[in-house]
Each structure stands twice: as structure tokens, then as C-alpha cells.
Amino acid sequence: MLPLPIDQHWTLFLDRDGVINKRIFGGYILEESAFVFNEGALDALAILNKVFGKIVVVTNQQCIGKKLISVDQLNQIHELMCSQIITVGGRIDGVYFAPELKNEIDSTRKPAAAMAMKAKKDFPEIDFSKSIMIGDTDSDIIFGKNLGMKTGLIISEEVIREQADFQFNSLLDFALCFDMY
């Protein structure tokens, strides 16, 4: 159980690969058929829909910078993801991605705050002090901490050095903290 009074004034920020869908370590999701939801993720998003006022995806996608996929192709993958989430009673209010390569100057990649700031511009009611960032990498946790969010780590094979406020085995484990809502 999370020791926080979470309500519709809170925003949930989610990383994509490794949190919502299966992450391809050493590779990328380059087509719709490669996008596979993590076990329980759809159920989790249906639960979380009832808890959080906004649910936002923030994802680093350097596959665009590497010219492995176009912005249009990535948007098609995100449209598929969102439509499947809606069919189970969940929702994603916004999807933000950083297309730059790692170590690129002026990058919008996490842990930089650019995607969060864009979300706040689109949804001015977002209060970072009433937000939770759920991710599976150090950059996700640093992103959340730098903005004053609570942070939750989805445990994976990724080596993590940053300490999150909470740890979970899956997005569903996180969502089940709220199942009584």
C-alpha cells in the first residue's frame, strides 16, 4: 500500500518500454507487431484510470534519431497502444517522446524535464508535487525526482543505481495498491 492520499488531483507519469510493454533489451519496438503489453498492464491501466486525474506516457525513443523508424510510424504504434488501453477501460491522456540520440546536446530525453514541461503546458492542472513517475531505469527515477515527483521502479534486468520511493514487480503490482478505490 502506498502511504499517500492519491486522488484525481494526481498525475501518473509512465515510461513505456519495460513498464507498459515488453522491452527489447538492445533493440527497439519498430513496428506494431513488436509492441506487446506486459502481463497485467492492461488490467493495471483500467484500475489506474479510476485513480489518477491524468495519465501521461514519457518515453525516450532514440530509434527515431537513429533513423530506424519515422515519427509517423511511432505515432501509429502509440495510437494502437492507446486504442487497446481504451478497450479495457483505461486511458492515456498524452504520449510524449524524445527522438534524440543519447548524449545529444539540447536533448529532451529523460532525465531532462522537457517532456514533463510539455505535458504541463498541455495540461496546466498538472502539479509535479502531486505526481508519480513509474519507470524501469535510472533516467526515469532521476526525471521524477528532479521534478519533485514520487517515484516507483518496475524491477527488471536493468541495473539500477537510483533509489526510487517504491519498487514493484510490474505495473499491475503498482495498480493493485489502489484496487479498493
Helices assigned H by DSSP within the chain: 41-49, 62-65, 71-87, 114-122, 138-146, 171-175
Confidence of residue 103 (pLDDT cuts 50, 70, 90): confident
The answer to whether position 131 is within a domain reads yes
pTM for this predicted structure: 0.96
Where b means 16+ CB within 10 Å and e means fewer, 130-167 reads bbbbbbbbbbbbbbbbebebbbbbbebeeebebebbbe
The answer to whether position 145 is within a domain reads yes
Distance CA 133, CA 148 (A): 10
Domain extent for 83: 11-24+32-178
The answer to whether position 4 is within a domain reads no
Distance CA 177, CA 120 (A): 26
pLDDT tops 60 at residue 1 = no
pLDDT of residue 181: 46
Confidence of residue 2 (pLDDT cuts 50, 70, 90): low
Which CATH number does the domain housing residue 104 bear? 3.40.50.1000
Per-residue pLDDT reduced to its tens digit, 41-88: 999 999 999 999 999 999 999 999 999 999 999 999 999 999 999 999
Determine which one of 17, 93, 136, 140 is catalytic.
Answer: 17
The answer to whether position 135 is within a domain reads yes
The answer to whether position 6 is within a domain reads no
The answer to whether position 5 is within a domain reads no
pLDDT average, residue stretch 87-114: 95
The answer to whether position 161 is within a domain reads yes
Q: Does 179 participate in catalysis according to the annotation? A: no
Q: Does 15 participate in catalysis according to the annotation? A: yes
Determine which one of 7, 15, 136, 173 is catalytic.
Answer: 15
pLDDT average, residue stretch 9-34: 96
Q: C-alpha cell of 79? A: 495510437
Domain count, the chain: 1
Confidence of residue 5 (pLDDT cuts 50, 70, 90): confident
The answer to whether position 77 is within a domain reads yes
